[in-house]
């Protein structure tokens, strides 16, 4: 059977980065297609008619949407010798719990802390820092969130590292003071080829954010 793997992506999206990391971890060759989010391709609209968002993984013509669903699909489909999720149901549940936490808490508070203004922004920033501290506590002295091996929770969280410089610069705080263990963990993850290849430079993300902000303010 042909094994055609296409990823509809956008370089600055943490969600797209999750899919790329998982594919590279599993040694899957894929055709990465960059989307223009202000002018989405017919293929994106056709393969993700519900959300119309990247990433979309298209495996032999069949689309899979939503980044964590994609990462789980990749884990179940390729490279059983290097699993991202643990095999034990209880440990799997814990990994899913923390990835869900990252999704529900970190991304929304992070976004609010960048885009809101005044008191609401300050509240979102405080919340974001609280969430980071919860993750700092959960990581503790482990090498990765799941223990000794890079896994599912790491894949879900590490793309946010590219946005750390934006957060600390605009929020006027220091990540390494708030969550030193998480920062050390992120640097450890960055030594992996899958992560290094999938994450853009923090300064590039910072420039991208400033430009995006200018555009929105001009609208």
Which residues lie near a second copy (CB under 8 A)? 50, 59, 62, 64-66, 68-70, 72-73, 76-77, 89-90, 92-94, 96-97, 100-101, 134
- Choice between 123 and 134, CB closer to a second copy: 134
- Choice between 102 and 195, CB closer to a second copy: 102
According to DSSP, the residues that pair with 8 across neighbouring strands are 33, 56
- Choice between 107 and 164, CB closer to a second copy: 107
Q: In the bound complex, what is the minimum distance in angstroms from residue 13's beta carbon to a second copy?
A: 17
- Choice between 152 and 206, CB closer to a second copy: 152
Q: Which H/E stretch holds residue 124? A: helix 118-139
Task: Give me the phi and psi of 190, to 5 degrees please.
Answer: -65, -15
- Choice between 89 and 140, CB closer to a second copy: 89
Q: CB-hemisphere CA count at 13 Å for 156?
A: 28
Q: In the bound complex, what is the minimum distance in angstroms from residue 91's beta carbon to a second copy?
A: 10
Q: Are 151 and 145 in contact (CB under 8 A)?
A: yes
Q: In the bound complex, what is the minimum distance in angstroms from residue 141's beta carbon to a second copy?
A: 19
What is the pairing mode between strands 56-59 and 62-65?
antiparallel
| Cβ count within 10 A of residue 164 | 20
Q: In the bound complex, what is the minimum distance in angstroms from residue 54's beta carbon to a second copy?
A: 15
- The secondary structure of residue 199, as a DSSP letter, is P
Cα(106)–Cα(136) distance, rounded to whole angstroms? 13
Cα(23)–Cα(28) distance, rounded to whole angstroms? 5
Q: Look at residues 25, 47, 22, 52 and name the one whose alpha carbon lies nearest to residue 36.
A: 52
Q: In the bound complex, what is the minimum distance in angstroms from residue 81's beta carbon to a second copy?
A: 16
CA 28 to each of CA 62, 81, 216: distance values in angstroms, whole numbers, following the listed order: 16, 13, 37
Q: In the bound complex, what is the minimum distance in angstroms from residue 215's beta carbon to a second copy?
A: 25
- Choice between 73 and 173, CB closer to a second copy: 73
């Amino acid at each position: 059977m042909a094994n055609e793997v296409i990823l509809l992506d956008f370089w600055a999206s943490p969600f797209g980065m999750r899919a790329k990391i998982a594919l590279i971890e599993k040694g899957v060759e894929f055709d990465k297609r960059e989307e223009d989010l202000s002018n989405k391709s017919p293929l994106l609209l056709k393969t993700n008619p519900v959300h119309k968002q990247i990433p979309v993984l298209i495996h032999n013509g069949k689309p899979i949407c939503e980044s964590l669903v994609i990462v789980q699909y990749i884990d179940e489909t390729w490279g059983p010798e290097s699993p991202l999720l643990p095999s034990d149901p209880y440990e799997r549940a814990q990994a899913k719990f923390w990835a869900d936490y990252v999704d529900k808490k970190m991304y929304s508070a992070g976004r609010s802390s960048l885009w809101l203004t005044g008191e609401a922004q300050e509240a979102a920033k405080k919340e974001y820092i609280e969430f980071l501290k919860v993750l700092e506590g959960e990581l503790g002295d482990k090498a990765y969130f799941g223990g000794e091996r890079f896994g599912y929770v790491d894949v879900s969280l590490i793309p946010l590292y590219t946005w750390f410089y934006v957060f600390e610069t605009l929020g006027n705080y220091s990540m390494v003071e708030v969550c030193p263990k998480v920062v050390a963990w992120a640097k450890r993850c960055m030594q992996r080829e899958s992560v290094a290849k999938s994450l853009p430079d923090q300064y590039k993300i910072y420039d991208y954010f400033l430009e995006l902000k200018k555009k929105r303010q001009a609208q």
